[in-house]
Amino acid sequence: MALPTQADDFPGWYQEVVKQAGLAENSLARGTMVIKPYGFGIWEAIQRAVDDRIKASGHVNLYFPMFIPSHLLEREKEHVEGFAPEVAVVTHAGGEDLEEPLVVRPTSETIIWSTYAKWIQSYRDLPLLYNQWCNVVRWELRPRLFLRTTEFLWQEGHTAHETADDAMHETLMILHEVYLDAYEKVMAIPPHPGRKTAAERFPGAVETYTLEALMRDRKALQSCTSHYLGQNFAKAYGVKFLGREGTEELAYATSWGLSTRAVGAVIMTHGDDKGLRLPPALAPTQAVVVPIYRNDDERSRVLEAAEKLVHGLGVRAHVDDRDDLRPGYKFNDWELKGVPVRIELGPRDLDESQAVLVRRDIGEKETVSLDAVGKRIEDLLADIQSTLYDQAREFRDASTFRPASYDELRSLVEDPGGFIVAPWCGSPECEAKVKADTKATIRFLPVEPGGDFGRCIVDGAPAAEEATWAQAY
Ligand SMILES: [Zn+2]
C-alpha cells in the first residue's frame, strides 16, 4: 500500500506511517492508543536516554498513585481551573458511589506536594530531586496517535528547593542538560529552547520553559516542558520548613515532563515519502540483512552466512528470513520502518566475499567486503545519526522567517509556514490578535527576557520581546 506523499497530505502520511510501520493503533475507548512493539521499542530508547540523564543529574525515581482525592485538586486555584476541562473522575467503584470522587491524575503536582508537606520539615531535607515514569489521563477531544491521546505515558519530575535561585537553576538545567541533550544527541532533533508567554503557561506555574521543534509540514511541536512553580504549590499544600535562620519558609518547586509525544516528533522530523527514517541511536533494529536466493541450496547457504554476519556485528541487527516475501517487498518494508542500514546478501555476493549496504537516510548504496562490514556499519550509523540531525537543522533554519510587516507575517504563516520571528510588545491583545487572524501562537520567547527589539510587529508599540510564532500541534 503506497503512502500519501508528505506534500499532498501530511496528516494522511503520518497516519499511514504509524499504521503501516506498526507503531500504534487506536483502541476502544475514545482517544486511547495501543502502542505496538515497534513503537514501544522507540519509546523505550527515548525513555532510556531521558532517564539516564535524569539520574546523572542527581535525581531518583519513585512512584505516586494514579488516583487523587478530588479535594486535593481544589487547593491550587489556577491549576484546577486549567485542568478542569480535561480531567476524568471516578465516582463509582466497588459497586457503590464513592463518598469522595477520585480524579485520575492529569499530572501529579497536587498529590505529590500534599505528600511533600510531610516529608519536608527543615532546610536539611532539601532539595528533593524526584521523578516518576507513569501514565496520565487528559480527556482529548481531537485525538491523534502519539500527539494527543487521552491516556499517555511520560515522566514527571517534581523537585523541592530551599531558594528561588536553586529552583530556577533546576528548571533550566533540566531543559538544557536533560531534554535538549537527549533530543539533539539521541533523537537527532534540533528544537529551540524558550520561555512561554503567560497565555501558554502551565496552570499554576510562574514560568514555563519549552523545547519547540519544527515538523516537516512546518508546524511546531512542543516537545517537553520545564516549569518554575515558585511557592504556589508550597502555599496551597502547606509545604513549610525551618530555614537556616530559624524562620519558617515555604519551599520552591519545579516540575517537568516529556511524553510519548516525542515519538511523534521523531516520525514528523525525519520521515520522508518512503516512511520513517530512524536515528540509529533510537532504532530498535539498526541494520537488517535481506537474504537473496532462488532455491533451497542458495537459501541455506545465504541464511547461514547472514546469521554469522549478524552475530559478529555488535549492533542491533536482524536477518529477515521470511520465506513468503520477495526481496523487493522486504526492501520497501524496512524502508517504511526506517531501519538505518540494509544489508543485501546473495550467492554472488558470497562468491565475491562481499555484501551490499544501503543507507536509509540518503539511499546511497555501496559494496563492502564481508570482513569490513562490521567497521563500515559502525561508521555508517554514526554518519546517519549526524546527517539526520544536520538535515533537520537545515530544514528548521530554512523554514525560519523574519517578516518586516504584519501583512508579511500573516502571509508567511499561511504559506509556507515555519517559525516566524518578530518583535512583540508583550500585550496579550496583540498575541490574541495574531492567533485569531492566523491560528499561529507564540511558541516561545528567548529563555532570558529583555533586550531592544524595535517595534511590535502587530501594533507598532515598543517591543519588549522577540517572539517566535508558528502554527502548532
Ligand atoms: Zn503589540
Query: How confident is the model over 18-29, as pLDDT tens digits?
Result: 999 999 999 999
pLDDT in tens, 434-461: 999 999 999 999 999 888 889 999 999 9
pLDDT reported for residue 389:
98
Q: Tell me the residue type at 351.
A: D
Ligand 1 center from residue 456 Cα (angstroms): 5
Q: So what's the pLDDT on residue 452?
A: 83
Q: Where are the beta strands (DSSP E) in 231-336?
A: 240-242, 248-250, 252-259, 287-291, 317-319
Nearest to 399 by CA among 391, 424, 9, 407: 391
Nearest to 470 by CA among 200, 80, 240: 200
Q: What is the pLDDT of residue 222?
A: 98
- For position 256, what pLDDT does the model report? 98
CA of 120 to the centre of ligand 1 (A): 44
Q: How far is CA 334 from the centre of its chain?
A: 23
- In the reported structure, the alpha carbon of residue 276 is separated from the centroid of ligand 1 by a whole-number distance in angstroms of 41
Mean pLDDT confidence for 393-410: 98
- 424: pLDDT strictly greater than 80: yes
343-376 pLDDT, tens digit each: 999 999 999 999 999 999 999 999 999 999 999 9
Q: Do residues 331 and 356 touch, judged by C-beta distance below 8 A? A: no
Q: Give the pLDDT score at 82.
A: 85
- What's the confidence (pLDDT) of residue 76? 78
Of 399, 432, 428, the C-alpha closest to 416 is: 399
Grid cell at residue 443: 511558541
- Model confidence, pTM: 0.96
pLDDT tens for each residue of 257-296: 999 999 999 999 999 999 999 999 999 999 999 999 999 9
Q: Is the confidence at residue 330, as pLDDT, over 80?
A: yes
pLDDT digit string, tens, across residues 75-128: 877 888 888 889 999 999 999 999 999 999 999 999 999 999 999 999 999 999
Question: At 91, phi and psi to the nearest 5?
Answer: -110, -15
Burial class (CB in 10 A: 0-12, 13-18, 19+), 4: middle
**Residue 279 C-alpha to ligand 1 middle, in angstroms?**
41
User: What separation in Å is there between the alpha carbon of 451 and the centre of ligand 1?
Assistant: 16
Of 45, 265, 67, residue with least CA distance to 148: 265
pLDDT 10s digits, 238-262: 999 999 999 999 999 999 999 999 9
Mean pLDDT along residues 145-161: 98
User: What pLDDT is attached to residue 85?
Assistant: 86
Residues 6+ apart with CB under 8 A from 37: 22
Cβ neighbour number for residue 439 with a 10 Å cutoff:
12
Q: CA torsion 417→421→425→429, rounded to 10°? A: 10
Beta strands in 246-300 (DSSP E): 248-250, 252-259, 287-291
Query: Distance between CA atoms of 136 and 123, rounded to whole angstroms?
Result: 31
Q: How far is the CA of 461 from the centre of ligand 1 (A)?
A: 5
How many other CB atoms are there within 10 angstroms of residue 473's CB atom? Answer: 17
